[in-house]
Amino acid sequence: MIFPDRNTNRQATNLILMVQELSNQIAVVTGAASGIGKAITFKLVENGAKVYALDLNKEKLETCFQNHQPGITSIPLDVTEEQRVNEVMNHILQKEGAIQILVNCVGITGITNIQSHQVDASNINHVFNVNFMSCFYTSKAILPHMVENKYGRILHLASIAGKEGNAGMLAYSTSKAALICMAKVQGSEYAQSGITINAMAPAVIRTPLVDMMPDQQVKYMTDKIPMKRCGTLEEAANLALYIVSPSNSFTTGFTFDLSGGRATY
């Protein structure tokens, strides 16, 4: 007699439940055309959600998602322009009636592998506009509607650098620290509104963003990980899927670590 693998059956059951949970939900993902944003977009669609994929790079959006209609609608957008963010969010709300999920994945590193006294103020301003202000704009636009509907899930993609501070990455590290703090503030403010707002802090995930970093910078970060490897896009997407699901109903204002053992607090 062949006995079924209990773990396999359990995984299949969990997948079915997750699909049912996200069925008919509307999600918005920024920075969706590459890396973790792209992986999360596909993961959400696979699990029943309809996703609006936002990214500055129109060409990448079309290449990534042109064969995935109607599950994914791509919209080119510079998320550092608050007025355009408001226009796009209002367009989605008018069309769909509600947005249940917001995942902010947009992010840049700025100039890295330099000491703080060498950092130009314009670089810090640019990194903060992309990494922090864009997340403020999108969440500000969506939160009133989530409050009205008494339900919502928001995830800000931060970084272990925002907790520990990576040497040579002042602009990036401090912008991600600001995101972690915003998740704490927002999570507390809307805790009684049926909305959870959390952050995720990956260590090094193998993405195009990481590939563009100097080898010395990547080695510095990877050497700090007890597992001695980069995380995968699949691991990041799986964690994000739980964070924005209805199952995550009692955790808010929290930073979920994805660090291979690096984070110890």
**pLDDT digits 0-9 by tens, 28-47:** 999 999 999 999 999 999 99
pLDDT at residue 218, as a whole number = 78
Rounded (10°) angle between helices 170-189 and 134-149: 10
Q: What's the pLDDT tens digit per position in 145-199? A: 999 999 999 999 999 989 988 788 999 999 999 999 999 999 999 999 999 999 9
User: Residue 213: pLDDT above 80?
Assistant: no
Chain CA centroid to CA 136, Å: 13
Average pLDDT of 131-158? Answer: 98
CATH architecture of the domain formed by 21-256: 3-Layer(aba) Sandwich (3.40)
Per-residue pLDDT at 15: 47
Average pLDDT, the chain: 89
How much is the pLDDT for 215? 81
Q: Assess whether pLDDT exceeds 90 at residue 211.
A: no
List the alpha helices (DSSP H) in 66-193: 82-96, 121-128, 134-149, 161-164, 170-189
Cα separation, 178 vs 128, in Å, equals 9
Q: Which band of pLDDT confidence, cut at 50, 70 and 90, is reported for residue 9?
A: low
Look at residue 217 and tell me whether its pLDDT is greater than 80. Answer: no
Taking alpha carbons only, the member of 211, 124, 221 closest to residue 172 is 124
pLDDT of residue 112: 84
Provide the pLDDT for residue 12: 45
pLDDT in tens, 88-117: 999 999 999 999 999 999 999 888 888 999
Question: Does the model's pTM come out above 0.85?
Answer: yes
- What does the pLDDT read at residue 19? 52
Who has greater pLDDT, 19 or 240? 240
With CA atoms as reference, report the closest residue to 202 among 259, 262, 134.
259
Judge whether 220 counts as a catalytic residue.
Answer: no
Given 52, 172, 190, 220, which residue is catalytic?
A: 172
Q: What is the model's pLDDT at position 13?
A: 46
